[in-house]
């Protein structure tokens, strides 16, 4: 069984601490800062065995070296981006599998936000740890990769089972929802979700995890084929890829 702890840090980051409860092996996903992880490990009497990095940005790898020094953990990351993952020990790419005790995590290459971005999918626990590729009601900015790369990455994630829980690395849902509503105002599920998100945030509660099914129904970046969205942005005849590119440009400029 996979136990998942969500640790809010910095302004809007989430670190995820995972444990295979059968073996006791533990991993941290994208540790931005060390102290918050150490505090939870101490409270739970857990030993950190691995760090799983999705990409090289500082708010995802910032605690790698300190945690490795303090715990002796192994650091897992993208083989394609090994030069930018501090302390990396295990280098993986698309289709590879990393084990946490009895649990298997499939690596999926998802370039776009960065060229070496990867995500970790645990089919046994119906959980996806997707860093900054997919957000609740959004997707990552294209800092290094192309719109084509990001579209193909999102297509790969859309194909996962609808019940898959999405654990992304930032609390962006409310802001993403404002943009989503600007292009998909006719979507009653989106409006309902935005109300739920507002209620959660008023209580200072996280809006994550989401699910693939929920994103398919409400996330405009998963819905480039939607007739209403296409009509609203004046792109009824263009390809899904072209619609996605335009949505991403619009989101970059949205205030």
Q: What is the CATH number of the domain that holds 51?
A: 3.60.15.10
Which residue(s) pair with 135 in the sheet? Answer: 138
Residue 230 has which token pair? 């296409």
The whole-number pLDDT of residue 255 equals 82
The position carrying tokens 């296409």 is 230
Which is it for strands 2-9 and 134-135: parallel, antiparallel or unpaired? unpaired
Residues 6+ apart with CB under 8 A from 154: 110, 112, 133, 134, 139, 221, 222, 244
Binding region: 55, 57, 59-60, 113, 132, 170
Q: Which residues pair with 205 in a beta bridge?
A: none
Q: What per-residue confidence (pLDDT) applies to 121? A: 98
pLDDT, tens only, 26-63: 999 999 999 999 999 999 999 999 999 999 999 999 99
Regions of the chain with pLDDT less than 50: none
> Annotated binding site for Zn(2+), which residues?
55, 57, 59-60, 113, 132, 170
Number of structural domains (the chain) is 1
**Other residues' Cβ atoms within 10 Å of the Cβ of residue 87:** 17
- The domain of 246 spans 2-253
* Residues whose CB is less than 8 angstroms from the CB of residue 148 and which lie 6 or more positions away in sequence, other chains included: 241
C-alpha to C-alpha distance for 59 and 51, rounded to whole angstroms: 14
- Give the burial class of 4: count Cβ atoms within 10 A of its Cβ; 0-12 exposed, 13-18 middle, 19 or more buried: middle
């Amino acid at each position: 069984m996979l136990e998942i702890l969500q640790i809010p840090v910095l302004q809007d980051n989430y670190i995820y601490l995972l444990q295979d409860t059968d073996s006791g092996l533990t991993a941290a996903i994208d540790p931005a800062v060390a102290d918050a992880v150490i505090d939870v490990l101490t409270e739970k009497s857990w030993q950190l065995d691995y760090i799983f990095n999705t990409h090289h940005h500082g708010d995802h790898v910032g605690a790698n070296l300190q945690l490795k020094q303090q715990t002796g953990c192994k650091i897992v990351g993208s083989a394609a981006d090994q030069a930018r993952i501090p302390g990396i020990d295990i280098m993986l790419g698309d289709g590879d599998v990393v084990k946490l005790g009895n649990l298997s995590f499939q690596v999926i290459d998802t370039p776009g936000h960065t060229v070496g971005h990867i995500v970790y999918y645990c089919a046994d626990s119906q959980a996806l740890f997707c860093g900054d590729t997919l957000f609740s009601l959004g997707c990552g900015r294209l800092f290094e990769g192309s719109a084509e790369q990001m579209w193909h990455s999102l297509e790969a994630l859309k194909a996962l089972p609808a019940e898959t829980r999405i654990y992304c690395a930032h609390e962006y849902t409310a802001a993403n929802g404002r943009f989503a509503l600007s292009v998909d105002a006719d979507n009653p599920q989106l409006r309902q979700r935005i109300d739920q998100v507002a209620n959660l945030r008023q209580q200072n509660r996280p809006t994550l995890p989401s699910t693939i099914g929920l994103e398919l129904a409400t996330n405009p970046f998963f819905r480039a084929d939607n007739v209403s969205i296409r009509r609203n942005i004046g792109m009824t005849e263009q390809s899904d890829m072209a619609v996605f590119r335009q949505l991403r440009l619009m989101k970059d400029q949205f205030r």
